[in-house]
Each structure stands twice: as C-alpha cells, then as structure tokens.
Amino acid sequence: MQSKDYLLQVKKPKYKNKKTVVDNIEFDSKKEANRYFELKFLLKVGEIKNLEFQPKYILIDDFKDFEGIWHRKIAYIADFRYWDVKKEKEIVEDVKGMKTEVYRIKKKLLLHKFNIHFREI
C-alpha cells in the first residue's frame, strides 16, 4: 500500500453506528438522531425546554501527581440536556447502543459528582 492510498482510507465506525446529519447537526448514530426528532417534537409541544446538545461535565480536573507528571482532565459528554416541564427537573440523556466499560465508569463518576437526573435511551 502506498502512503497516498493510506490517506484516502475512511475509518469505519467501531460499533457499526452510522453518523447521521439532521438540521446541520452531526449525530454519532441513527438512534441518537431519532431521539433528537423526539426531543424536538417535545420541545415544540412545550413538554421540555432549554434543549442542549453534548453538554460537558468535568469528572476529574487535570492535575500534577507526586512525581510532577501532568494528567489530563476526564470529561463526560452526554448527548442531550433539557428541562422537563412536567417533572420540573433537568434531565441529562445519553443514547447508547454499546455500553463500554469506560462508559460505565464515567457514568458512575458523573452520578456521584453531580446531582442530576440521568436517563439512558
């Protein structure tokens, strides 16, 4: 294989998800895009408000260990965050097809550190 052939290769998704673009927003999967359609409808009829995409939560700040080595922060990026009008609470959602071990650990850290209502779809 020549180097120019290598540059033309397209990386295949690890979990066979298909990136989908809706309203000029790129979603990691069709499932996530479909959930966006549902949330968009709920927003329109007034059941939710303040819909946000990919809210970021810092789980561990960057730090220097006792040997002076810097470690990068660890963040959790959810798929959606919105205010549920009926329940009168903020909801954080993640649309998952494959629940990796890293996801499970980050989810536990998220729930431990932040007082949020979390929902998996």
pLDDT per position as a tens digit, 67-97: 999 999 999 999 999 999 999 999 999 998 8
Q: Are 79 and 105 in contact (CB under 8 A)?
A: no
User: Alpha-carbon distance 50 to 101, whole Å?
Assistant: 30
User: Alpha-carbon distance 86 to 46, whole Å?
Assistant: 10
Is residue 9 included in any domain, yes or no? no
Look up the domain containing 34 and give its range: 15-120
The answer to whether the Cα torsion of 41, 82, 19, 111 is positive or negative is: negative
| Total domains in the fold of the chain | 1
Question: Over the stretch 18-36, which tens digit does the pLDDT of each residue have?
Answer: 788 888 888 888 999 999 9
Q: Residue 9: phi, psi to the nearest 5?
A: -70, 140
Is residue 2 included in any domain, yes or no? no
What is the token pair recorded at 99?
Answer: 């629940």
Residue with tokens 């097809």: 97
Question: Which contiguous run of DSSP H or E holds residue 31?
Answer: helix 30-44
What is the token pair recorded at 18?
Answer: 């298909």
Is residue 6 included in any domain, yes or no? no
Question: Over the stretch 90-114, which tens digit does the pLDDT of each residue have?
Answer: 999 999 888 999 999 999 999 999 9
What is the token pair recorded at 49?
Answer: 């408000």
